[in-house]
Amino acid sequence: MNDQELHAHIEQLVAEEHALLEKGGEVSSHERTRLGAINVQLDRLWDLLRQRRAREEFGQDPSTAHERSADTVEKYLQ
């Protein structure tokens, strides 16, 4: 997946997230679960994009970056 495809996927997930959040209190338990999954996937994709950019910045091949597990990404310290 190249940077343009990553951005498109991120935008798609953000749009879905916003649509669910606009429902307010009318969100079902299934939709709450989906929101959680969207947030995790967004974190993973942003991490992958950062990896690609860092590799490119330092003259490495960005295509060697890989999507890390949800467990890894979600345990990063903020």
> Could you read off the pLDDT of 29-41 as tens digits, one per residue?
999 999 999 999 9
Dihedral sign computed on CA atoms, order 73, 66, 36, 42: positive
For every residue of 12-64, which 3-state class applies, written as one string? HHHHHHHHHHCCHHHCCHHHHHHHHHHHHHHHHHHHHHHHHHHHHHCCCCHHH
Q: Return the domain boundaries, the chain.
A: 3-74
The answer to whether 48 touches 66, Cβ cutoff 8 Å, is: yes
DSSP structure class, residue 78: -
* Residue 78: pLDDT band with limits 50, 70, 90: low
**Per-residue model confidence as pLDDT tens digits over 32-77:** 999 999 999 999 999 999 999 999 999 999 999 999 999 999 887 6
